Structure 1
């Protein structure tokens, strides 16, 4: 089922993924879609902050790998569209061709920054309206979902962010996304204004400004899509640090407590099965 069909029926919850391991683990979960986070792609694959330091080619490389590792629809961060109108058109076509089910484009000026940090600057509303119009026109199929994100709350206030969101929907966005919402009242007001046409970003960790809330509450408010970008990346950081502490202390690992096999997760079972089949049918010898 396409992402568009899913969000027409119920709120979709998408955990954040950023590499092959996270995509494969999430692919085995009960979640119906995945979210490729620019923050975690920048941090995990390149070791840099989400501050406009990676671009279209790096994000496309990550997207292609994540799509290859999962059978679920992938919602992808496309930052500002990586330039002007021609860049936006190219970005939409590249993301769609790479297998994304949706992307979101934001109204920040270039270079952009993570939505939950200081120093963000937004472009005029009309500039973003033009980008959304071009993005909607550029997609090859109607199944591809265009999400318009506004980062204007911090600099222009809630009323302006609401007006921008309305303008972006009129320009052709399928969903609107007000990043870095600061209060429960703002969450509720946004969903009330755009029922089942709004998305929210929840990162339950210090330094991220949106308060934690349950998916059940978000669904009741009327959100169509809820992304949790740090749901795997943040716990993974803690697990790696704890493993290093145990190693440094000379303690045994606790890997046996894991109920997952890395070999099986990344596909060695299939490698061995294929090699055995080829050896039987083709007389081929096993390699490696």
Structure 2
């Protein structure tokens, strides 16, 4: 089964699709190893890990495309790309969708923010006219060559314009051909219930630890009827905390390996990276 078809089937299945965010190849591999069915390329995580900067639209199209291609090649499960605002107008969005599909992504997020965009859980967001976003989505649908390539239409209208406008846009974006509707920056549990209930399409909810949206259990979201939940920063928050703890122990003890509980085993990471395969290839071809 093609990865696009698999991702679309997971979205349309009765069970909630849980998609953690990856910020590099290793985190994507660990998401797959943990048993999750798909990976979300995290724009926040990629900006932080690649540039050391916040998710405010600085990471460009080519950088995002190249990083996403690495994620796709690292795992056998579907990867949803982050296409930000389409990096321009409808024509640019058309090209962006075609490029991410060619890179092997199974779907793409496209959002209705004014460029430069901001993380959905930051303040100060603005959105373009609904009609302009509908045009971008129509271009995205036209651009995809695989009918099952997933268009995840994100609206950030809730913060500046309210939940009614977010719902109105969600329904318009679904009518324009989006596979999935993603309302970001939701601030109350009642708003979560409303967007899932009142948008006539599969709905995605974002769970950001420490973000603006109240945290739900997966069972709660399943009961509400959500199609997908993304956890875009779980991995990079865990990595930051783990590195901080390991470096603090190293500084305090003055002895590498003084607290093995803070570290993966070196053999463990070699196994994860399939080092033995490359050793065997070297032995085979180097005589």
TM range (shorter): over 0.9
Post-superposition CA distance 1:160-181 (Å, at most 9, x none): 1111111111111111111011
Superposition misfits of 4+ residues, deviation over 2 angstroms: 255-260, 273-276
Aligned residues: 278
Q: TM-score, normalised to structure 1's length?
A: 0.93
* 1:127 matches 2:135: no
> 2:239 maps to what in 1?
236
Over residues 75-132 of structure 1, what are the superposed CA-to-partner deviations in whole Å (9 max), with x where a residue is unaligned?
Answer: 1111000001111001100110111111111100111111111111100110001001
Q: Is the alpha carbon distance of 1:224 and 1:256 closer, same or farther for their aligned partners in structure 2, counting shifts above 3 Å? A: closer
- CA–CA distance in structure 1, aligned partners of residues 262 and 101 of structure 2: 40
Counterpart contact for 1:195–1:223, Cα < 8 Å: no
Is residue 213 of structure 1 aligned with residue 216 of structure 2? yes
Residue of structure 1 aligned with 2:83, choices 71, 78, 93: 78
The CA deviation at 1:189 is 1.1
- What secondary structure does 2:154 align onto? strand
Q: Which one of the candidate residues 73, 95, 99 is aligned to 1:94?
A: 99
Matches within 5 A, 1:8-157: 8-9=12-13, 10-157=15-162
1:272 to 275, 279, 284: 279
Distance in 2 of aligned mates of 1:256 and 1:173: 43
Mapped partners of 1:78, 1:8: distance in 2: 22
Q: 2:171, 2:201 within 8 Å by CA — same for their partners in 1?
A: no
Task: Assess if the C-alpha contact under 8 Å between 2:189 and 2:214 holds in 1.
Answer: yes
The alignment's C-alpha RMSD in Å is: 1.5
For residues 273 and 26 of structure 1, what CA distance do their matches in structure 2 show? Answer: 26
State the 1:275 CA deviation.
Answer: 3.0
With normalisation by structure 2, the TM-score equals: 0.93
Per-residue CA deviations over 1:130-189 (Å, capped at 9, x if unaligned) read 001110111001110001111011110111111111111111111111101111111111
Unpaired runs of 5+ residues, structure 2, are none
Q: Distance in 2 between matches of 1:183 and 1:116?
A: 13
In structure 1, the gaps of 5 or more residues are none
Aligned equivalents of 2:264 and 2:279: distance in 1? 23
Could you tell me how far apart the structure 1 residues matched to 2:140 and 2:197 are? 26
Indicate yes or no: 2:10 matched with 1:3: no
Determine whether 1:258 maps to 2:258: no
* CA drift at 1:274: 2.3
User: Which secondary structure state, in structure 1, belongs to the residue aligned with residue 118 of structure 2?
Assistant: coil
By how many angstroms is 1:220 displaced?
Answer: 1.2
Which residues of 2 match residues 145-184 of structure 1 at below 5 A?
Answer: 145-184=150-189
